[in-house]
Amino acid sequence: MSGLGKSFGGLRALDGVALSVSPGQVYGVLGPNGAGKTTLLRILLGLVRPDSGTVRVLGHAPGDRRALRDIGALIEAPAFVPGLSGRVNLRVLARARGLPDSEVDRVLGLVDLADRAGDRFGGYSLGMRQRLGVAAAMLGDPRLLILDEPTNGLDPEGVVWMRQLVRDLGSSGRTVLFSSHMLGEVEQVCDRVVVLNRGTVVAEDSMDRIRTPDVSLHLHATPDETVGRVLAAAAGTGEPVHEEPGRWLTRADPDEVPGIVRALVEAGADVHEVRAERQSLEDAFFRLTETQEERS
């Protein structure tokens, strides 16, 4: 998709969004509340029409029957009939699509609901409802799964289970596009991630590169005058921060760290402590969304 825009009244929910998802990738859509994640996923399914831009899903226009056949989706709370059992709810969906009842049993097994499949949907916990929603999305073994906040309502055990399921789907060649504001979750299962903020893409890259390879380099080294001079001249570092006498903080490419330490020693500095901390996705997320706030 490219140049995607969507407004609701005066509110710009998406603005010039471009992204491309390759088959077999697990792709995370990340962003704070109201960033436009759900709107983006709804557009892919043909549930919302964009005001501008071009979108192709599995080679077709969004909402095209040929594409929908190969897409499974869970968008917001799944709608099932409360008085019917989980199994019967799925059978209704499966039969409407010409799928055999054995397919229902297969997906119930995948989401660990086989034991409770005969119970009324109305009596299901939030987590069970969510599992049934995922099972419905997997009916017919679609090539592309679009899951909007799939861990909503799941307990910690359910979150771990969902993470594993998404991973398994990815490693079996399915393409999974899922949104989350649980950053750790995205970090652990995604190949690539797009970070949205206020309707625009603030980053779109591989998980490793989003995190940026840079480390926060904490140094305890003296004397200050020598350390300051060496850090300012070192390649691959950010602006050094002099935290207190003898203590420095800078950003550095991890490959440059040995060279920085060598340069300090060669310049006659005493190096007492070197600590390089990798940035988590959480750091990257806040850095990206904060930068955006500052710009606007």
Query: Where along the sequence are the contacts to ligand ATP (CB under 6 A)?
Result: 8, 11, 13, 31, 33-39, 181
List all residues 6 or more positions away from 162 whose beta carbon is below 8 Å from its beta carbon. Answer: 134, 150, 151, 154
Least gap, CB of 168 to ligand ATP (angstroms)? 25
Cβ-based nearer residue to ligand ATP, 38 or 289? 38
Cβ-based nearer residue to ligand ATP, 35 or 99? 35
Q: What is the DSSP string of 61-100?
A: -TT-HHHHTTEEEE-SS----TTSBHHHHHHHHHHHTT--
Least gap, CB of 129 to ligand ATP (angstroms)? 17
Q: Which of 233, 224, 234 is nearest to 268 (CA)?
A: 224
Least gap, CB of 58 to ligand ATP (angstroms)? 22
Q: Give the separation between CA 290 and CA 2, rounded to whole angstroms.
A: 24
Q: How far is CA 11 from CA 1, 8, 35, 74, 120, in A?
A: 21, 5, 11, 25, 40
List all residues 6 or more positions away from 90 whose beta carbon is below 8 Å from its beta carbon. Answer: 104, 107, 108, 117, 132, 135, 136, 139
Cβ-based nearer residue to ligand ATP, 94 or 288? 288
Cβ-based nearer residue to ligand ATP, 12 or 247? 12
Cβ-based nearer residue to ligand ATP, 87 or 198? 198
Least gap, CB of 176 to ligand ATP (angstroms)? 17
Q: Give the separation between CA 4 and CA 192, rounded to whole angstroms.
A: 19
Least gap, CB of 199 to ligand ATP (angstroms)? 7
Cβ-based nearer residue to ligand ATP, 39 or 89? 39
**Three-class SS of residue 21?**
coil
Q: Give the separation between CA 30 and CA 184, rounded to whole angstroms.
A: 11
Least gap, CB of 185 to ligand ATP (angstroms)? 14
For residue 16, how many C-alpha atoms fall within 13 Å in the half-sphere facing its CB? 4
